[in-house]
Amino acid sequence: MDFKIPEGLPGMNIKKWLKDPSELGSCKLKTSKPTWKAEIELTRQAIQKINSLSPKPKFFMICGDMLDAYPFEKSSIPFYNGNDRVIRDLQYKDFVQVFKELDPEIKLVFACGNHDIGDIPTSQSVEQYRNQFGIDYFAFWVGGVKFVVLNSQYFYSSDALPEEHEKHLDFVNKIADPTAKYIVIFQHIPFFAKDPDEDDTFHSIRKERRLKLLELLWNAGVRYVFCGHHHKNGGGKYKDLEQVVTSAIGAPWGKDPSGFRLVQVGPLDITHKYIKLRETTDCLEFAKYEKSSAQTDNGNVIEK
């Protein structure tokens, strides 16, 4: 699959890492018109913090749901008044604009989420994703570590696009590499919330598939999986494979406020900590942005 850099997102240019082993939800304010100004502000705060880190991170990973609106004509989100297409175009425009503030030395990398191609993806939604964000599964190398980006929608809705599912599974079956210092997975939907043997929920991969995939990854040498989707911090272990779930820059659903996770690769292990952007999980403190939007933008919206 060709690696295409979407126009307007130069930070995604990680071509030099693809084969060289040497080398981050939405805040739903209850308003009369949809707005995402609060989320732009939170994203800008995150970018400012990341830009100021020393040493600079090699890359900024977004584990899915870059936009809130689904890539379909008719909205499944009542708040959007049945107009996903218009809302999504506006959100994408604002997403590109705010991420131009990311330090160009810090590469921007995406994992595909359910809001990005739909809970049940279509060939059209996958094509649109690839045009806007690039390929939806791939591997790249930084500092001897092999990072693998997977599209968890193919795990979650494996019957939706059988050919894409088989291609993706073939890719997963070939990720093992004895030359890698570590093999790290990024994907949107976690395999589980707390325990690999837990019952099925909307928020995880079905147990029947989950255990087979976890065993496959573990046998391939994967020991770290980083995910999003839950809008709260969490994780657990399958054998000695650690799954880490990071909360959202937008609306957090757990006890931790908006933030991002700083991951450090060491000689013996990989460590990580959650960096808070604010102290509260209450979105209402951003209501002033909605009021301003209604006055100056005619109710148009802005991204997470």
- Residue whose structure tokens are 């997470």: 304
d(CA 218, CA 220): 5
Q: Please state the rounded mean pLDDT for residues 213-230.
A: 98
- CA 120 to chain CA mean position, Å: 17
d(CA 80, CA 88): 10
Q: How confident is the model at residue 295 (pLDDT cuts 50, 70, 90)?
A: very low
Q: What is the pLDDT of residues 59-92, one digit of tens each?
A: 999 999 999 888 887 766 666 666 678 888 999 9
SS3 content of the chain, % helix, strand, coil (to 5): 30, 15, 50
- Residue whose structure tokens are 């921007």: 108
Core vs surface per residue 44-69: b (16+ CB within 10 A) or e: ebbbeebeeeeeebbbbbbbbbbbbb
Entry pTM: 0.85
* 16's tokens: 């030099």
d(CA 302, CA 26): 11
Q: How wide is the angle at C-alpha 298 spanned by C-alphas 297 and 304, nearest 5°?
A: 55
Q: How confident is the model at residue 2 (pLDDT cuts 50, 70, 90)?
A: low
Query: What's domain 36-276's architecture?
Result: 4-Layer Sandwich (3.60)
